[in-house]
Amino acid sequence: MYGLIGRMKAAPGQREALIALLLDDVGAMPGCYSYVVARDPGDGDAIWITEVWDNAASHRASLSLPQVQAAIAKAKPLIAGFDSHVETEPVGGHGLPAVG
């Protein structure tokens, strides 16, 4: 599996609007097991996104889907920047499909 853990900063005052865009239903995302959008309780502009995919290629491919590109275009003006971005290798756990 392939995982991402990242923190982004919304433009001042735009966190809730950005979260709403990030949670817009973009339809099927092949290979996406988990995608969680969370507020950072310690920073009113910060958002954590954690993702689990079957593999890195599925994540990469998702970025080319027309509906995902449209969502990114809408979100971009509300994003001030990215603080941290980590790739991981999820091994297992709870709340994932039963995969090897």
Interaction site with a second copy (CB under 8 A): 1, 3, 5, 19, 23, 29, 32-41, 48, 50, 52, 86-96
- Dihedral sign for Cα atoms in the order 84, 46, 95, 69: negative
Nearer to a second copy (CB atom), residue 40 or residue 80:
40
How many residues are present in the chain? Answer: 100
CA 48 to chain centre: 8
**Phi, psi of 60, deg, nearest 5:** -60, -45
Closest contact distance (angstroms) between CB of 71 and a second copy is 13
Nearer to a second copy, 12 or 92 (CB): 92
Q: Cβ of residue 75: shortest distance to a second copy, in angstroms? A: 15
